Amino acid sequence: MRHFLKVTDLAPGELLALVADAVANKGEESDVLAGRNLGMIFSKPSTRTRVSFTQAAYDLGGHVTFISESELQLGRGETIEDTARVLSAYLDGVVIRTFRQEDVERFAAAASIPVINGLTDQRHPCQALADLMTIYEHSGDLSQVKVVYLGDGNNVAVSLMIAAAAAGMQVTVCTPPSLAVPDWALAEAQALAAESGARVQVETDPPTAVAGADFLYTDVWFSMGQEVTPRKREQLEPYRIDTGLLEAAGENCKVMHCLPAHRGEEITGEVMDGPRSIIFQQAENRLHAQKELLKRLMADGQG
């Protein structure tokens, strides 16, 4: 039995194979999850993760049970471990979206079914699968690609950086100094890069960072659960992806965003809707990549 709590729960070779299969099997329907029920426990809102996992399970012949965390006895003091043991008897897998990475890890340690991290404050590994898939579709060779993330050094930045490092890419994370990705995340990425030949860089100056980029990537400046402060907004102003910054990047540079976007904040509407944007293809790819993940974790004979 396997979990997917962080990108490195798949070995680099498995990650690359999943990406290639997600492209090859787009639109495929099967019954490999027939009779299986995927639970989804969410304590934060979601449009893409919730609906793409639901559809992915249906496309594979499975069922889905959605549970808002606020409706569980967890909120009344039942432990994560007791909840995990009980739900393991009913379900065949579970996607959890919550705040603390530690809580997902505790759930997985007590569960006897596969547990998938649907986003925590620290990581968003399922997003990174769709990100690699989208970059692969546009490049055909991940090892030849430079991707530059601009903005807040958050969960999405962390998982993108780690996935890119595992895949042998050139990745630059460009943030204000006080909003950099955490040291533990950088260390994880650098360890992977030493094996894969990837190049991992941190940068604080956007025009320097984007030079020669094939892909620019950004995410919201204020993640779910974070306090919105004028100070942070002011710090992040120079990191907005607009036509000027895009001009400073590579000639054929494409633009990515995990969504939801705050148009006019981390990215302009003009860039989002412009010819370089592959943002909505990226969102669609959540479905294709997660189908491959569910097959590997929940289908017969897997894990």
Q: Under the criterion CB under 6 A, does residue 288 sit at the interface with ligand CP?
A: no
Q: Under the criterion CB under 6 A, does residue 220 sit at the interface with ligand NVA?
A: yes
**Footprint of ligand CP on 116-135 (CB under 6 A):** 119, 127
Q: Under the criterion CB under 6 A, does residue 46 sit at the interface with ligand CP?
A: yes
Task: Write the CB contacts of 300 (distance below 8 Å, at least 6 apart in sequence).
Answer: 32
Q: Quick check: helix, strand or coil at residue 64?
A: strand
In the 8-state DSSP scheme, what is residue 227? P
- Residue 43 interacting entry, from ligand CP, ligand NVA, none, C-beta within 5 to 8 Å by type: none
The rounded distance, in Å, linking the Cα atoms of 13 and 47 is: 30
Contact residue for ligand CP among 30, 47, 68, 144 (CB under 6 A): 47
- If the CB atoms of residues 93 and 125 are measured against ligand CP, the closer one turns out to be 125
**3-state secondary structure labels for all residues of 148-216:** EEECCCCHHHHHHHHHHHHCCCEEEEECCHHHCCCHHHHHHHHHHHHHHCCEEEEECCHHHHHCCCCEE
Please give the structure tokens belonging to residue 92: 């065949």
- Residue 154 interacting entry, from ligand NVA, ligand CP, none, C-beta within 5 to 8 Å by type: ligand NVA
For residue 291, the minimal CB distance to ligand CP (Å) is: 16
Query: Do 157 and 202 touch, CB atoms closer than 8 A?
Result: no
Binding mask 222-261 toward ligand NVA (x if CB under 6 A, else -) reads: -xx---------------------------------x---
Q: Which of 59, 257, 258, 290 is catalytic?
A: 258
- What positions carry a catalytic annotation? 97, 124, 127, 219, 258, 286
